[in-house]
Amino acid sequence: MREISFTGLKQQYKEHRGEYNKIFDQVLENTDFIGAYNNQSICKTERAISDFISSRGSGDKLDICLCNSGTTSLYVLLMALGVGKGDEVILPDFNFIAALEAVLLLGANPVMVDVSPFSFMLDLEKAADAVTVKTKAVIYTDIFGRVFDPSQIDWFRSEIEKKNTSVFLVEDAAQSFGAYYRNKIGHVKVAGTYGDAAITSFYPVKPLGTAGEGGAVMSHDKKLIEKVRFIINHGAASKYNHQVLGFNGRLDVLKSEILRWNLQNVFVNDFDKREAVARLYDKLLSNYLASERFMFIGTCKVRSANAQYTLVLDDVLNRDAFIRELSQRYGIPCAVHYPASTLDVMLGIVPRNEIEYLSTKDNVTDKLCKSVFSLPIHAYLTVEDVLYICDSVNELYREFKNKKGL
Ligand SMILES: Cc1ncc(COP(=O)(O)O)c(C=O)c1O
């Protein structure tokens, strides 16, 4: 049986072991481990990320604050925006749990809204209907690495304005670092620049990863980022100069150094290689493609970061049995992003009488949770690997359909 790994992490660290060892040695030698306020390595990495996003085509210069995870980034961003008791925050129900955790931990009320059946991202029409005077923020996630058509976000903002209320738009770009949308006249909108602020994650297997946990808050609003920086430094501008309530949410220097090295030496190549794998999957698995990752509308296009390559299995077939067979018979590891809606997860972990929440009817999310599965996608898959995976998926799909008499 062919050996296929779900991620390319082992291969990446093996290939660049010499460089990573040098970075480790240097950081150990300097004993400059802590990424506190104005730390040189942290500032350098923040600038490198901002420059990269700007060079991706949008020219947008973001202010960036590195944090110790994507989850921390969401939490401190909402904290800096003043989200708290009695506020409502709108979230997509088909999502990783981090945004919901941040909302609940701050004592705010989550409003879980269904996703679009085409993009699997927040259904903006339903979200616009859900906005009330209590809504403090809307978080939309760039699921699996895709980004929105920016004109949809403009429309969404105008719908909110009609309600005479002010709402912070937060882009969760944890899965979409480097992704972009190019419109008909060639204007490019890059992940991280869509809302009033954005977060991303540098978890090792994210499009841009480090050797451990990591994340960032990004915004054009300098003052907001300055607030975030205070919060993650114990609310202090310098040692013991505490000014607001904060905690320790900083990124370590070691991770900052590896992150910057990965950005400057691995990221673009990996991004393009994942794209090549995704296009080959598209070609060979067209039967299963639930939605287009590459949307050509005239000359407009979405270029996904391909954090995941996710398929939707016909709902009459048993998804869990299908991926078990793929693993046991063919040695192809798969994952399910996500097996349950955030609403269902929340109801399983927080007593009902302790939370105030709202939820729209979740037809799409519930269907996706039962039918999605993600295939391996990374820069170290060979063409032969992808052909093997596609042949196996096709063979198993035919077998499952035959068994059902379809
Ligand atoms: C959409 C989304 N948001 C937030 C996070 C949290 O990031 P981290 O794992 O760095 O805390 C993740 C991580 O998987 C994610 O996928």
Distance from C-alpha of 24 to C-alpha of 359, rounded to nearest angstrom: 47
- Cα–Cα distances in angstroms (integers) from residue 113 to residues 85, 139, 165, 286, 362, in the given order: 20, 10, 19, 29, 7
Atom of ligand 1 nearest to the CA of 203: 10
pLDDT higher than 70, residue 295? no
Question: Which are the contacts of 335, defined by CB distance < 8 A and separation ≥ 6?
Answer: 6, 308, 373, 374
Give the helix/strand (H/E) hosting 373.
strand 372-375
Token pair 């620049």 is found at: 193
Ligand 1 neighbour 341 (Cβ under 6 A):
no
**How far apart (Å, rounded) are the C-alpha atoms in residues 171 and 159?**
17
Q: Does residue 215's CB lie within 6 angstroms of at least one atom of ligand 1? A: yes
Contact 122, 171 (CB under 8 A): no
pLDDT tens digits, 303-327: 999 999 999 998 889 999 999 999 9
Between the CA of 98 and the centroid of ligand 1 the distance, in Å, is 6
Tokens matching residue 225: 């980022």
* Ligand 1 closest atom vs CA 141: 1
What is the 204 CA–ligand 1 centroid distance (Å)? Answer: 11
Ligand 1 center to 115 CA (angstroms)? 18
| Torsional sign, CA 183, 186, 189, 191 | positive
H helix runs in 212-341, sequence order: 222-232, 253-265, 267-284, 319-330
Q: Closest Cα to residue 32, out of 257, 261, 262?
A: 257
Ligand 1 in contact with 180 (CB < 6 A)?
Answer: no
Confidence of residue 288 (pLDDT cuts 50, 70, 90): low
- Three-state DSSP class for residue 235: coil
CA of 97 to the centre of ligand 1 (A): 8
For residue 143, the ligand 1 atom closest to its alpha carbon is 1
Q: What would the mean pLDDT of 6-33 be, rounded to a whole number?
A: 97
pLDDT at 296: 55
**Taking the model in full, what pTM does it have?**
0.97
pLDDT at site 60: 74
* Overall residue count recorded for the chain in this entry: 406
Q: Write the CA distances from 317 to 304, 322, 326, 370, integer angstroms.
A: 28, 8, 14, 10
Cα separation of 231 and 243, whole Å? 9
Nearest to 69 by CA among 223, 206, 242, 197: 206
How many angstroms separate the CA atoms of 70 and 371, rounded?
27
d(CA 177, CA 189): 12
Pocket probe mutation, ligand 1, options 7, 75, 96, max atoms within 8 Å of Cβ = 96
Distance 233 CA to ligand 1 centre (A): 21
**Residues facing residue 369 across a β-bridge:** none
pLDDT tier, 385 (very low <50, low <70, confident <90, very high otherwise): very high
Structure tokens at 247: 């905690």
116 lines ligand 1 (CB under 6 A): no
Judge whether residue 289 has pLDDT over 70.
Answer: no
Residue 143 Cα to ligand 1 midpoint, Å, equals 11
Question: Residue of the nearest CA to atom 14 in ligand 1?
Answer: 96
Asked: is 9-403 a CATH 3.40.640.10 domain? The reply is yes
Rounded to whole angstroms, the maximal C-alpha distance in the chain is: 71
At residue 202, the pLDDT reads 98
Peptide bond before residue 338 is cis, with ω within 30 degrees of 0: yes
How far, in Å, is the centroid of ligand 1 from the Cα of 101?
Answer: 11
**Mean pLDDT in the chain?**
94
Taking only the tens place, the pLDDT of each residue in 323-354 is 999 999 999 999 999 999 999 999 999 998 88
Atom 10 of ligand 1, residue of closest alpha carbon? 70
pLDDT digits (tens, 9 = 90+) for 59-76: 779 999 999 999 999 999
Query: How confident is the model over 172-202, as pLDDT tens digits?
Result: 999 999 999 988 888 899 999 999 999 999 9
Protein residue whose Cα sits closest to atom 8 of ligand 1: 70
Assess whether pLDDT exceeds 70 at residue 294: no
Residue ranges of domains in the chain: 9-403
Residue type at position 64:
I
Q: Say which amino acid occupies 310.
A: T
Establish whether residue 70 lines the binding site of ligand 1, counting it when its CB lies within 6 angstroms of any ligand atom. yes
Residues in contact with 193: Cβ distance below 8 Å, sequence separation at least 6, in sequence order: 53, 58, 60, 62, 171, 218, 220
Q: Whose CA is nearest to atom 3 of ligand 1?
A: 174
Q: Contact 36/270 with Cβ under 8 angstroms?
A: no
**Contact call for residues 219 and 78 (beta carbons, < 8 A):** no
Burial (CB count <10 Å: 0-12, 13-18, 19+), residue 316:
exposed
- CA 214–ligand 1 middle distance (angstroms): 10
375: confidence class by pLDDT, cuts 50, 70, 90: very high
Burial (CB count <10 Å: 0-12, 13-18, 19+), residue 228 = buried
CB 71 less than 6 A from any atom of ligand 1: yes
pLDDT of residue 57: 78
Amino acid present at 57: G
Token code pair at residue 141: 């996630």
Question: Can you say how many angstroms the Cα of residue 333 is from the centroid of all Cα atoms in its chain?
Answer: 21
- Alpha-carbon separation of residue 274 from 3, 84, 102, 263, 373 (angstroms): 18, 39, 31, 15, 17
User: To test the ligand 1 pocket, which listed residue (91, 201, 210, 217) has its Cβ within 8 A of the most ligand atoms?
Assistant: 201
Across 92-96, 154-158, 164-168, 310-314, least confident range: 310-314
How many angstroms does the Cα of residue 107 sit away from the middle of ligand 1? 20
Distance 146 CA to ligand 1 centre (A): 15
Distance 73 CA to ligand 1 centre (A): 9
First-to-last CA distance in the chain? 29
For residue 158, pLDDT over 60 is answered with yes
| Ligand 1 nearest-atom number relative to CA 71 | 11
Lowest mean pLDDT among 96-100, 248-252, 290-294, 370-374: 290-294
Region 208-230 average pLDDT: 98
* pLDDT beyond 90 at 166: yes
